[in-house]
Amino acid sequence: MIPHKLLYFLFFFFFQSHILQAQKNAFLFNGKKIAPGSKKSFLLPVITGNDSTFIPVTVFHGSKKGPVLGITAGVHGLEYAPIMAAQALAKELEPTQMSGTVILVQVANVTGFLNRSFRVNPLDNKNLNRVFPGQPNGTSTEKIAWTISNQIIARCNYFLDVHDGDANGDLRPYSGYYNYFDKPKVSEKARQMALALGFDFIVQFGNEPSLTEASIYCSREATKRNIPAADIECGGKGQVEAKNVLQIQKAIISLMRHLHMLEGHPNAVQNPIFIAKRTTVESEHTGIFYSDLTGGDYVKKGMKLGYTTDFFGNKIADVTCPIDGVILYKTFNPPIQKGESLFNIGHIH
């Protein structure tokens, strides 16, 4: 028989822990209150002297306390797998079942998306993932970056930026994170995030003593603010492939489990391959590019990766592999200009 005092203690303990976990406070975002266990969508305006656009964002505020996770899709408007995964995730997330808060940017570069613009925002022809932290009074892309940096990243405890191979990339899916030696705690938390995403290839960006230059990249802006951040690269060829959309969706759910925002265990991979160094093979010629290789193929130093021809079909040159490694992505379609990247190869030891 359990003594009354112990019953009382147990009741009190569970009651207390439940109360402690419950989220009492609303989440304030863009001047609006989001009550615990609810969600709200916003179109954040991005207006310059020349043009205007907006950023669609949904905030999911859980019933229970927990961290704030920011997620961006569509930093590149032709990267459809991340954008469609964000659409699916927004339907799947149920704030009453969540701990903490998710700030989901459905499409960071709406004008690029609607105009099917390769890499850039057509309003100023700038690449959003090259202008972070942005500028408050800059051009459209710089202002989008500024809004994401200060209204979203600044609010987060963890941050995830989701990309794919874009319109021209045949990509081998991977997760990535920044590793800076003077930020051991942030780097380690970011590494744990990358593991929790469940990809069997993990690319380490940075691998340098410190981050002294401008952030430039979206998730590096989070890193610069000491917010652990990871990237997903999954999908490409300008297509919506269901398996890629699903893999991104599952990866984010797994990450949320790792961060104790959802119940259940993360699907981390047991022995992922860490890639600390990458080599880009650039085209030395302008013309038409041929290659039978695909993202994920293992390659050897000295082997022929493909070749380029002129516009009359005459072969100009072979493309030779500079290292032993694995193709993370390659340009899969024919047009190529001198200086553009043909392959990105991960070094494997």
CB nearer to Zn ion: give 39 or 76.
76
Closest separation in Å from C-beta 57 to Zn ion:
19
In whole angstroms, how far apart are CA 57 and each of 7, 70, 180?
A: 46, 10, 30
CB nearer to Zn ion: give 230 or 262.
230
In 3D, which of 188, 201, 193 has the Cα closest to residue 160? 193
126 binds Zn ion (CB under 5 A): no
- Written as six digits, the tokens of 159 are 């941050």
* 198/270 Cα distance (integer angstroms): 9
> Judged by CB under 5 A, which stretch of 16-24, 71-79, 147-155, 245-253 contacts Zn ion?
71-79
* 241/248 Cα distance (integer angstroms): 11
In 3D, which of 120, 105, 118, 130 has the Cα closest to residue 42? 105
In 3D, which of 182, 144, 167, 168 has the Cα closest to residue 54? 144
Closest separation in Å from C-beta 48 to Zn ion:
23
Interface mask toward Zn ion for 25-64; x: CB under 5 A: ----------------------------------------
CB nearer to Zn ion: give 76 or 330.
76
Question: Helix, strand or coil for residue 114?
Answer: helix
Closest separation in Å from C-beta 240 to Zn ion:
15
Strands (E), 90-245: 99-105, 120-121, 126-127, 158-163, 169-171, 174-180, 201-208, 229-233
Closest separation in Å from C-beta 39 to Zn ion:
26
> Judged by CB under 5 A, which stretch of 72-80, 259-267, 273-281, 333-341 contacts Zn ion?
72-80
Count the Cβ atoms, other than its own, within 10 Å of residue 263: 10
Number of residues that bind Zn ion (CB under 5 A): 3
Among 64, 143, 163, 224, binds Zn ion (CB under 5 A): 163
Closest separation in Å from C-beta 81 to Zn ion:
10
CB nearer to Zn ion: give 163 or 330.
163
The residue length of the chain stands at: 349
Interface mask toward Zn ion for 74-93; x: CB under 5 A: --x--x--------------
Closest separation in Å from C-beta 79 to Zn ion:
5
Strands lying side by side in the sheet with 287-290: 315-320, 304-309, 287-290, 335-336
CB nearer to Zn ion: give 232 or 262.
232
* 180/209 Cα distance (integer angstroms): 6
Residue ranges in 175-234 that form contacts with Zn ion under rule CB under 5 A: none
CB nearer to Zn ion: give 163 or 220.
163
- Residues near 327 by Cβ (< 8 Å), separated by ≥ 6? 172, 293, 294, 295, 296, 297, 298, 299, 343, 344, 345, 346
Closest separation in Å from C-beta 193 to Zn ion:
18
User: Which residues of the shown chain bind Zn ion in the complex (CB under 5 A)?
Assistant: 76, 79, 163
